Structure 1
Amino acid sequence: MMERHRFPKEERLCSKRLIERLFHHGSSFFIYPYRVTFLRVDGLNPKVQVLLSAAKRRFPHAVQRNRLKRRMREAYRLQKNGLLFPALEKHPYGLALAIQYVGDGKPDYGHMYRQMAEVMKKLQRENP
């Protein structure tokens, strides 16, 4: 059966309280062009909630930031089922996740896609 590559609203991190906890108590790592901050959360439903962002300081035009976030969302959406979700199925906790684009210049989607795969693999290793 074919997997559905969706990114529903429930998987988006919107809770201000949880976002604050994520940035104050979460762990982070860097895989260019992404800075990833994550926090294990008990009883999180769905198992992973994601926040995607691009800095206004680096990309002053909203068009640039929106394009970056759209590309990040697409790279995440296409890879989450194969790499991230299977690793978390056997655990009682979920992940709150913030992925920030910190690269410079015009990003290449192919590079963003490959680096997002590296992010997913590192998250698998960090959460055995």
Structure 2
Amino acid sequence: MYTLKKEERLCNKKLIDGLFHNGSSFLCYPFKVSWMHAEKDQQFPVQIVFNVGKKRYKRAVDRNLIKRRMREAYRLNKQINLYNALDNAGKKLVLSVSYIGKEISSFDFVEKKMLKLLTQLAGEAIK
């Protein structure tokens, strides 16, 4: 339940390209979310990739810290706020979450915004 397995991570370059060219997106500061519906054959309801821009955060340790906080907040909240809604609707998603904030946020802030992002995404994806 509270895991983030390899199969849940988005690695397929064609899917990533399709996501950024054909997908929908919205802003939920400090995140920019791109998503699109996926084929029914994937094992998990969502495949996700986390991005932090090298242009804004030059040091790899800063980028890794932000990504670690994003992954942890997603891992703890995905089941209740996203997976259950998608399973009930029978939908599958491909998802990209990019961090566009200007400063390194605390985990509490990141988790609060991730909750908001997941509920907003569930509402949009089910429509």
Counterpart secondary structure, 2:119 = helix
Q: How does 1:1-128 map to 2 (within 5 A)?
A: 4-43=1-40, 44-128=42-126
Counterpart secondary structure, 2:82 = helix
Deviation at 1:65, TM superposition (A): 0.3
Counterpart secondary structure, 1:89 = helix
**How many residues were matched structurally?**
125
Gaps of 5+ in 1: none
Gaps of 5+ in 2: none
Q: Hey, which bits of structure 1, 4+ residues long, moved more than 2 A?
A: 90-93
Deviation at 1:42, TM superposition (A): 2.3
TM-score normalised by length of structure 2: 0.95
What percentage of residue pairs aligned between the two structures are identical?
Answer: 38
TM-score normalised by length of structure 1: 0.94
Counterpart secondary structure, 1:121 = helix
Larger proportion of helix: 2
